[in-house]
Amino acid sequence: MGIVVQKFGGTSVGTIERIGRVADRIISYKEAGHQMVVVVSAMGKSTDVLVDMAKEISAHPDEREMDMLLSTGEQVTISLLSMMLEKKGHRAVSLTGWQAGITTESVHGKARIKHIDNERMKSELAEGNIVIVAGFQGISEEGEITTLGRGGSDTTAVALAASLKADKCEIFTDVSGVYTADPRVVPAAQKLDVISYDEMLELANLGAGVLHPRSVECAKKYGVCLVVRSSFTDEEGTYVQEGITLETGRVVSGVAHDEDVAKITVVGMPAQVGTLSRLFNTLATHHVNVDIIIQSSYDAKASNISFTVAGSDLTHALQTLEVSRADLGFDKVEYEEALTKVSIVGAGMVNNPGVAAEMFRELAQQEISIKMVSTSDIKVSCVIASEYADRAVRALHSIFQLDAQEVAVVHGI
């Protein structure tokens, strides 16, 4: 049998006792004949403790030093899990990001993996060892410790699975799979048995943000069979695979929402060739991720450009714009916080015109005003005020017939 990569998040390894249960699960796979590579996050809230210490020193600690600090969290977990496996009679070896050969960009806080030198991992597997790798971290070509940012450990797991040509990559988390909506918001949400990479990418923030888009992108690119499942039960999870026909024939397969959205409007951008590209190049250079973009011309000489960023990136984005103001030549910047992006996702939408219209109609019915819209082949997203987010998600989940039949009443509004 081949290699299986498993990833356990912070909650799954939050205590020594839980690390013991994780070890038992790994051992059951090992004893079934698989070669095991396991990626773990920092224990429970330990990363928060480290962040708090840094914040006690500075509101904006140096990013290189933050990576130096935060990368210790995973290093603690890998050593404890290895000890636990050895205590239970199995040979294991822990590897930091750099020991596992994970080379990243020279960016701190949200580096992307450039390549993986899997020689060390392969030789450890060949010797019969269970390989435990620190998630979320790597090393730049200059020898600096880097971290991968949000969802980093998922990305580590998928990248290792791709590099090692693993049979599958199982992401263990505190929910039992991918849901048609966040079950905390929509009690009638249902677990999906299987979903395509593209849908998963769009739904990436569904089901308690169970998978980060980066890890799904990587899985799609390298054809990694990804499984999302609970670390606390033996329940089957959700398979994320290529070329899946949704068994239900539903047009919409899920409702996603992201509550960390801010909208920035750059007013009075000169209408010259290249200004748009300069604006977004500047933001990209400063690692501000832009999502939805809308341009509206108001006269021949200038236009307004609105776009969304993560709420947590807002301050940094505004600073970046302020510094670049003279260079870019715009009049002023306006912004709006506390916004939510609500999206309906489904591979079946391609052949069903009118889905977007149905979504807008339902939101109007709920008296929720739409601030921005963005569409793709398999998705329609609307930006609304966060105060209406839960109501919008429940209404859309219901109107697109996603509510589980056994749940008769959707609670609350």
217 near a second copy, rule: CB under 8 A: no
126 near a second copy, rule: CB under 8 A: no
Nearest approach in angstroms of CB 236 to a second copy is: 30
Nearest approach in angstroms of CB 120 to a second copy is: 8
Nearest approach in angstroms of CB 73 to a second copy is: 8
Closest CA to 3 of 149, 91, 124: 124
Nearest approach in angstroms of CB 63 to a second copy is: 10
Single out the segment in contact with a second copy by CB under 8 A; choices: 88-96, 105-113, 181-189, 273-281. Answer: 88-96
**Which H helix or E strand runs over 79?**
helix 63-87
Nearest approach in angstroms of CB 58 to a second copy is: 5
Strand partners of residue 187: none
Residue that the structure tokens 């290529």 belong to: 242
Q: Which of 4, 5, 66, 133 binds a second copy (CB under 8 A)?
A: 66
Q: Where are the beta strands (DSSP E) in 62-213?
A: 92-95, 102-104, 113-116, 130-134, 137-140, 145-147, 168-173, 194-196
47 annotated among ligand-binding-site residues = yes
Nearest approach in angstroms of CB 76 to a second copy is: 5
Number of residues that bind a second copy (CB under 8 A): 35
123 near a second copy, rule: CB under 8 A: no
122 near a second copy, rule: CB under 8 A: no
7 annotated among ligand-binding-site residues = yes
Closest CA to 75 of 51, 100, 106, 103: 100
Q: In the structure encoding, which two tokens stand for residue 121, read together?
A: 């991992």
130 near a second copy, rule: CB under 8 A: no
Helix, strand, or coil (residue 36):
strand
Task: Please say which residue, 56 or 299, places its beta carbon nearer to a second copy.
Answer: 56
Q: Which of 143, 249, 274, 353 binds a second copy (CB under 8 A)?
A: 143
Q: Which of 26, 27, 38, 84 binds a second copy (CB under 8 A)?
A: 84
Single out the segment in contact with a second copy by CB under 8 A; choices: 77-85, 248-256, 257-265, 394-402. Answer: 77-85
106 near a second copy, rule: CB under 8 A: no
Q: Could you give the CA distance from residue 321 to residue 360 in angstroms, rounded to a whole number?
A: 32
Q: Could you give the CA distance from residue 22 to residue 268 in angstroms, rounded to a whole number?
A: 56
Task: Please say which residue, 71 or 241, places its beta carbon nearer to a second copy.
Answer: 71
Helix, strand, or coil (residue 193):
coil
8 annotated among ligand-binding-site residues = yes
How far are the Cα atoms of 113, 215, 218, 222, 349 from residue 198, in angstroms, in the given order? 21, 12, 12, 14, 12
For the purposes of burial, counting CB atoms within 10 Å of the CB of 335, is it exposed (0-12), middle (13-18) or buried (19 or more)?
middle
Single out the segment in contact with a second copy by CB under 8 A; choices: 85-93, 174-182, 339-347, 378-386. Answer: 85-93
Residue that the structure tokens 């070669």 belong to: 35
26 near a second copy, rule: CB under 8 A: no
Helix, strand, or coil (residue 59):
coil
Q: Could you give the CA distance from residue 55 to residue 4 in angstroms, rounded to a whole number?
A: 38
Q: Could you give the CA distance from residue 117 to residue 140 in angstroms, rounded to a whole number?
A: 13
* 183-203 as b/e: b if 16+ CB within 10 A: bebbbbbbbbebbbbbbbbbb
Q: In the structure encoding, which two tokens stand for residue 301, read together?
A: 């000489």
Task: Please say which residue, 100 or 219, places its beta carbon nearer to a second copy.
Answer: 100
Amino acid at 159: A
Q: In the structure encoding, which two tokens stand for residue 142, read together?
A: 């200059």
Nearest approach in angstroms of CB 262 to a second copy is: 27
61 near a second copy, rule: CB under 8 A: yes
184 annotated among ligand-binding-site residues = yes
362 near a second copy, rule: CB under 8 A: no
173 annotated among ligand-binding-site residues = yes
77 annotated among ligand-binding-site residues = no
Amino acid at 254: G
Q: Which of 51, 76, 328, 356 binds a second copy (CB under 8 A)?
A: 76
Helix, strand, or coil (residue 346):
coil
119 near a second copy, rule: CB under 8 A: no
Helix, strand, or coil (residue 272):
coil
Give the residue ranges of the annotated binding site: 7-10, 47, 74, 173-174, 179, 184
Q: Where does this chain bind a second copy (CB under 8 A)?
A: 16, 19-20, 50, 53-54, 56-58, 61-62, 64-66, 68-69, 71-72, 75-76, 78-80, 82-84, 86-87, 93-94, 96, 99, 120, 143, 145
Give the residue ranges of the annotated binding site for substrate: 47, 74
